[in-house]
Amino acid sequence: MEIRLNKHLAQAGVASRREVDRMIVEGRIKVNGQVVQALGYKIDDQKDRVEVDGKRVERKEGMVYLIINKPPGFLVTMKDPLRRPTVQQLLPALKKRVFPVGRLDYDSEGLLLLTNDGELAHRLLHPRFKIQKTYLAEVKGIPALTQIARLEKGIYLDGKRTAPARFEKLRGGFKKSLFKVEIHEGRKREVRRMFEVIGHGVLHLKRIGFGGVRLGSLGSGKWRFLTRKEVDTLKKKAELI
């Protein structure tokens, strides 16, 4: 069957489609012995031989889904050339390779989803599906209601308006406030930058929800497999079932 190369590799558990596209451009992927650098390239997944970094890729059976409560001070990557702490160090020895779904800042903490299901990862990150992410943000001072309303309607970051979001003040004091923030975009440092625009920098940021999956009481640095119900919830939101 003819299929896009990035989708084939995502389904094989190599990486998300976005990451596979980067690998294609870098010339790390061969089809039938030839380097392919064209995005959108299609293959016959029954006949063509696909290699990544010189190793043949076979479609894997059995998907793995888990979450980590990422502590601050860990990079969301599986390898770091500078040997800084990464989320890989928080994982057990798994028989199957997994990769992070999306970003979580070095200084932030909370729920990080990892899987080898490249198609699900792609859809969870695609703007079309509007997958909700929930954060607790402790910020400097007390933002005015007009400022929060402005953030909820959308502000311009890098020349592009942010999507509508929801901000709920949970606690307010003279020096700092606590907000629950719900967004469905995945821009880099988006929550922090939104608060910076209105002059209230983020002191602490924690993600507590992703696509209906909740962090709950999972301890810092700990991990667990998702339940079947949680996996089905993610797949329904991603329109895979």
Catalytic residue among 105, 107, 117, 232: 105
Domain match, 161 and 218 both: no
Q: Confirm if 48 and 31 have CB atoms less than 8 A apart.
A: yes
Domain match, 217 and 107 both: yes
Check if 53 is active-site: no
Domain match, 80 and 150 both: no
Domain match, 146 and 200 both: yes
Domain match, 120 and 217 both: yes
CATH number of the domain encompassing residue 144 = 3.30.70.1560
Domain match, 192 and 123 both: no
Domain match, 140 and 29 both: no
Entry pTM:
0.78
CATH number of the domain encompassing residue 21 = 3.10.290.10
Residues 6-23, buried b or exposed e (16+ Cβ, 10 A)? bbbbbbbbbbbbebbbeb
Domain match, 206 and 137 both: yes
Domain match, 225 and 170 both: no
Domain match, 123 and 140 both: no
Amino acid at 27: G
Provide the residue-wise pLDDT of the chain in tens; the chain has 241 residues. 788 898 888 877 788 888 899 999 999 999 999 999 999 899 987 788 999 999 888 765 578 999 999 999 999 998 889 999 999 999 988 888 899 999 999 999 999 999 999 889 999 999 899 999 999 999 999 999 999 999 999 999 999 999 999 999 999 888 999 999 999 998 899 999 999 999 999 999 999 999 999 999 999 999 999 998 999 999 999 998 7
